[in-house]
Amino acid sequence: MSAILSELIGQRCIIKNEDEEYLTGHADVTCHVLAMDDEWIKIAYVDEAGNRVSRLERVDTIDSVVIVNDNR
């Protein structure tokens, strides 16, 4: 696993990928990164209906990641 990607575990992020719009209706998703290995990332987010969703996604489908800093 990439050292940079492993730093995302436990972070709140905005992840953008080419398939996200199909899955969530948006081009990106704000989520918490729960776990990761060389091929997969496990994320959790709250959908528009208020349900908590956990999902596995292939790491190679990620286009960009923004780490959300909640410390203001």
pLDDT tens-digit readout, 3-60: 788 889 999 999 888 766 556 666 788 899 999 998 999 999 998 889 999 999 888 8
Residue 72 domain-assigned (yes or no): no
* pLDDT for 62: 87
* pLDDT for 48: 84
Instruction: Name the domain count of the chain.
Output: 1
Domain hosting 61: range is: 3-67
Residue 10 domain-assigned (yes or no): yes
pTM over 0.75: yes
Residue 59 domain-assigned (yes or no): yes
Residue 51 domain-assigned (yes or no): yes
For residue 71, pLDDT over 90 is answered with no
* pLDDT for 21: 58
The overall longest dimension of the chain from CA atoms, in Å, is 35
